[in-house]
Amino acid sequence: MSITIRGIEFQANDDNDMGLEFVNLSHRFGYQCPNWPYFRDVQIERMHYMAKSGVLSQTLTHTMHVTTHIDAPAHVVQGTPFIDEVPLPHFFGSGLVVSIPKKKWEQITADDLEKACGHAIRKNDVLIINTGWHKHYEDGDYFPYCPGLVSSAAEWMVEKGVKVVGHDTQANDHPLATAIGPQRNGPLLPHLEAEYKEWSGGIGWEEAFPEWEPVHNILFNNGILGIENVGGDLDSVTGKRVTFAFFPWNWDRGDGCIIRLVAITDKKQAYRIEAGESF
């Protein structure tokens, strides 16, 4: 089956010649897309357009840590690999999409992961976590109030041999373990201090989150990369084992990269990757 888009015919996603199904797990990128509290807005300029030049050519100015993206270890841990130094097999492979529903500021722990997929996880799996927060992805409360991974979850992933983790939250750490809260050059949003203390029943945020981005540090020091702001049709593959592809740019000394995260399934088990033989 084919579909027509703006007068051009393409193979349909669910009925292509390969017999594979492709599911988008990325949020959109573009003008005024949701952004972390201290990043500059995405800027897009049409250098050439049809009326002017007969072609469309656009110039982009933005951070790589916007929308659905993958962090290189060098993003946080000095002396570790940049994105172009990570071997290509790290950006492709089998894995799980697990459901771990969470509310405002709740923690994603090792116990949560063990209950969700301890029986099914395999060494070198890609693990994608669906907390439900991809539904709240917008310019506003998503960033300061997301749930987040904590150290025990990172240590669980190291123990299980996970190679990449992705999640539908704002960072590889809880937001209050980042500069949104009291860490490093924060707090970016100082009004959250009193709100957190009331929410937690009197516990201060510096007591609750005494370390700077501990999950980033544990993961990256063990060669595990993190995909932030997973979205798209995430619910449609939750609870399933699928194949993932999410290649970044070959960016020299890159600290991360926007990606198109895709889940791939082969229901008929009929497609095979080429053997690489000469022709």
Predicted confidence (pLDDT) at residue 81 exceeds the cutoff of 80: yes
- Tens-digit pLDDT profile for residues 102-119: 999 999 999 999 999 999
pLDDT computed for residue 12 by the predictor: 72
Give φ, ψ of 99 to 5 degrees: -95, 120
Q: What angle do CA 207, 151, 68 make, to 5 degrees?
A: 110
Smallest CA-to-CA distance from 97 within 109, 113, 79 is with 113
* CATH architecture of the region 19-265: 3-Layer(bba) Sandwich (3.50)
DSSP letter at 15 equals S
Contact between residue 120 and residue 241 where contact means Cβ atoms under 8 Å apart: yes
Least Cα distance to 130 among 238, 259, 232 occurs for 238
Whole-number Å distance between alpha carbons of 129 and 113: 9
Three-state SS for 8? strand
Q: Tell whether the model's pLDDT for residue 15 goes beyond 80.
A: no
| Whether pLDDT at 27 is above 80 | yes
State the pLDDT at residue 272.
84
Q: What's the pLDDT at 4?
A: 82
48 residue type, one letter: H
pLDDT digits (tens, 9 = 90+) for 38-78: 899 999 999 999 999 999 999 999 999 999 999 999 999 99
Tell me the domain boundaries of the chain. 19-265
pTM assigned to the model = 0.95
Three-state secondary structure call for residue 273: coil
CA terminus-to-terminus distance, the chain: 30
* pLDDT tens digits, one per residue of 120-156: 999 999 999 999 999 999 999 999 999 999 999 999 9
